[in-house]
Amino acid sequence: MSKGVKTLDYAAQPAFRRYRGVLSAVAHAGLFAAAFFAAFGIYHNFKSFDRWLVPFLLPLLPLVVGIKMVVFWRMQQFRGTWRYVGMRDMMSIMMATHISAFFFILAFYLFVNFYPEFLNTRPQFPKSVFLIDWGTTIAFVCGARLVVRLYHEELGHSDTEGIRQCLILGAGDTGEALLREINRMKGARYRVLGFLDDNPSKQGMRIHDVSVLGPLKDAARFCEQLEIDEFLLALPNARQRVLRDVVEACGGLNVRFRTIPAMEAVIEGKVTVSQIRDVDIRDLLGREQVKLDEQKIRAHIHGKTVLVTGAGGSIGSELCRQIAKFEPSRLVLLEQAENNLFEIDREMERRFPNVPRGVYVADICDARRVDQVLAIEKPATIFHAAAHKHVPMMEINPGEAVKNNILGTRTISDAARQHGVARFVMISTDKAVNPTSVMGCTKRVAEMYIQQLRQDSDTQFITVRFGNVLGSSGSVIPIFRKQIAAGGPVTVTDDRMTRYFMTIPEASQLVLQAGAMGHDGDIFVLDMGEPVKIVDLAREMITLSGLRVGEDIEIKISGIRPGEKLYEELSVLGEDMGKTTHEKIYVWRNKKEDWARICSLMEKLVGDADELAAVDVRERLCEIVPEYRPEILGYENATPDRSAAAKENMATDSKSDIATGNLKVGDSPAT
């Protein structure tokens, strides 16, 4: 039945499409004949027809056309679509004409060598015709294709209804390719009025008859003057800060920003204008591609069993994708949420069918289940991504944060040590640095626990810290996107709040790199770049949606939620940051801890987690992590061993240092 459907579809196509190759060959034959006629005509000034029309043109015409048809057919010149002719097509036509001219001259002299009477009975043959025919063939064939392209670009879509006026940001190769693609596409509903580019040498130039109007900083001015509807981004190598400046400058102008998934693909002809998409905030916050030491990563993954806890989460699922690329002998997915596990398992089956998998629904706090899984699978490496991560939710449920983030980590790390796992890599957070939230503090306790395991274990325990990841479940960007789609308001807790961001793939790749580098309880910190103000993020997302802040969508300040910081920090008291062999990964040299005391306090906290009140959980956490500062956020009686004056000084100094920018990487607030 499928064959029948294909036959019907083919038969339903217009005749010129079904027989495009035949029609192209016929058209080329006519062009070759016309070029040969023009060659003689030009030589004789289209006079004295009796000296060349019958004596030479008619007898040699079949030979000339036949040679050119064979050469052009062999070089696949009959298969191209004329409306998309470009420079490469021109070069191919010239090459085919060169070869045709060579064979024509060779055939001509072989012919007259065997039949010398051919020239003896005719007027003198003009040798210049060979060269003129070469030129007229190129001119006729290229010219015909250019006429077809011109028709489709200029006359093929005269209906102007719904056409959007645009400026292309970037006048380089990508911008030129994008404009060329727009011009050739009949269905493209864009009118490009100009380019903007910061390169002074390009300003004032014209590309396909479109002017480079000025630098990017004038985007807002040209947008108002020319009544622009959309900006098309063609800056594949531009720094994200440059793009963000343009978006911020155009806030309130009701203009959309659009781009193509991979701008370099336009140059290669792999995408069309129909795939132009809205610019996403991740396009403005993303950074250059991470350079990995793939050989070192492969040495720890290829041909080995790798287990990922929290495999259905944002980071865990991306870790699975990245790990699968290095061809482990088996990839084990462990996840408590059944639906999430089902989805990532289906994706792995589709994308990496040759990677064997183990799939387990399991709670990392269930010691017997964890022990069973490790006994069956015997992993060489464990990436521990399972955790409760939502700060306000864990402030309401501190006991659950203790159980999942501390007890769960202890359970899986103890099992890893007992089963001889070679490497254990824990995913932590920058919120573990001088924590003000239960979530951040429990992650810090988990870090401290796995650090002390290095003392009597062959397992290499490693921690990797990073900040917010763009687009992860429950993060600010999906929330803002839903609020904008609903018409607002967009809620921001505080207009001073800043956060570090990185993409999920970048974070996961650097986790793999750090996991391959680390040993002996190292805590690695990823280079998070520059912090971003959340209120600016909200404004940019509204602007990218083609809406105006304050008119179409309001921004509402809702107030800081329990456990949140205004500013994320990069280190904890007593630690120093050192460089590693990777430019985006740093290692913290940790202060010595009283492990016996910490483990004793942690044991009591975990055992009492379900019975303790929230304030008691915070008190216990303060005993384990002295830099935990819930009192900054107004929790009372959380640290009874500190005087009121000490609390006030610590809170004031911390806020002041961070707000004024005095807190540097490797420093810590005063305590």
- How far are the Cα atoms of 360, 391, 629, 635 from residue 655, in angstroms, in the given order? 44, 19, 12, 16
Q: How far apart are CA 106 and CA 606, in angstroms?
A: 93
Best-predicted range by mean pLDDT (118-132, 212-226, 519-533, 553-567): 212-226
pLDDT at 515 over 50: yes
Q: Find all residues with CB under 8 Å of 543, minimum gap 6, and list them.
A: 247, 248, 250, 251, 252, 257, 549
Select from 206, 353, 346, 174 the least CA-distant residue to 271. 174
Average pLDDT over residues 491-506: 78
Select from 400, 383, 390, 328 the least CA-distant residue to 357. 328
Partners of 56 in the beta sheet? none
Residue where the block lists tokens 């964890």: 370
- How far are the Cα atoms of 309, 464, 586 from residue 286, in angstroms, in the given order? 26, 20, 20
Rounded mean pLDDT of the chain? 76
Q: Are 549 and 565 in contact (CB under 8 A)?
A: no
Q: Which range, of 13-27, 494-508, 527-541, 642-656, averages the lowest pLDDT?
A: 642-656
Token representation of residue 480? 């803002």
Q: Looking at per-residue confidence, does 139 or 16 come out higher?
A: 139
pLDDT at 596 over 90: no
Residue 414's pLDDT is 93
Tens-place pLDDT, residues 139-161? 888 888 888 777 765 555 444 45
Residue 577's pLDDT is 64
What three-state secondary structure class fits 59? helix
pLDDT at 495 over 70: yes
Element of type H or E holding 191: strand 190-196
* Sign of the dihedral through C-alpha 623, 625, 630, 631: positive
DSSP 337-365: -HHHHHHHHHHHHHH-TTS-EEEEE--TT
pLDDT at 209 over 60: yes
Tens-place pLDDT, residues 435-475? 888 998 999 999 888 888 877 778 889 888 877 766 666 56
Q: Looking at per-residue confidence, does 620 or 288 come out higher?
A: 620
Q: How far apart are CA 204 and CA 361, in angstroms?
A: 63
Architecture of the domain whose range is 294-660: 3-Layer(aba) Sandwich (3.40)
Structural domain boundaries in the chain: 10-155, 164-279, 294-660
Element of type H or E holding 506: helix 504-517
Residue 249's pLDDT is 77
User: Does this model's pTM top 0.85?
Assistant: no
Q: Which range, of 272-281, 295-304, 538-547, 647-656, averages the lowest pLDDT?
A: 647-656
Q: How far apart are CA 285 and CA 317, in angstroms?
A: 21
Residue 175's pLDDT is 81
Q: Looking at per-residue confidence, does 280 or 508 come out higher?
A: 508
Residue 660's pLDDT is 32
Taking the CB of residue 487, how many other CB atoms lie within 10 A of it? Answer: 10
Residue 409's pLDDT is 94
List, by residue number, the catalytic residues: 431
Q: Are 606 and 406 in contact (CB under 8 A)?
A: yes
Residue where the block lists tokens 């028709």: 151
Average pLDDT over residues 241-260: 74
Residue 431's pLDDT is 85
Q: How far apart are CA 297 and CA 381, in angstroms?
A: 12
Token representation of residue 646? 């000490």
Residue where the block lists tokens 């670009």: 153
Q: Are 252 and 545 in contact (CB under 8 A)?
A: no
Average pLDDT over residues 177-201: 77
Residue 365's pLDDT is 93
Residue 350's pLDDT is 93
Tens-place pLDDT, residues 631-655? 544 444 444 343 333 344 333 333 3
188 — pLDDT class (breaks 50, 70, 90):
low
310 — pLDDT class (breaks 50, 70, 90):
very high
Q: Which range, of 150-159, 179-188, 215-224, averages the lowest pLDDT?
A: 150-159
Could you tell me which CATH class the domain 164-279 is placed in? Answer: alpha beta
Q: Looking at per-residue confidence, does 663 or 400 come out higher?
A: 400
Q: How far apart are CA 237 and CA 198, in angstroms?
A: 13
Strands (E), 368-512: 381-384, 423-429, 460-466, 468-470, 490-492, 498-499, 501-503
Tens-place pLDDT, residues 338-369? 999 999 999 999 999 999 999 999 999 999 99
The amino acid present at 238, given as its one-letter code, is A
Measure the N-to-C terminal CA separation of the chain; round to a whole number of Å: 77
Tens-place pLDDT, residues 80-137? 666 556 677 778 888 888 888 888 888 888 877 777 766 666 677 788 888 888 888 8
Q: How far apart are CA 587 and CA 577, in angstroms?
A: 6
Proportion of the chain above pLDDT 90, given as a percent: 17
Q: Looking at per-residue confidence, does 88 or 609 come out higher?
A: 609
Same CATH fold, 294-660 and 164-279?
yes
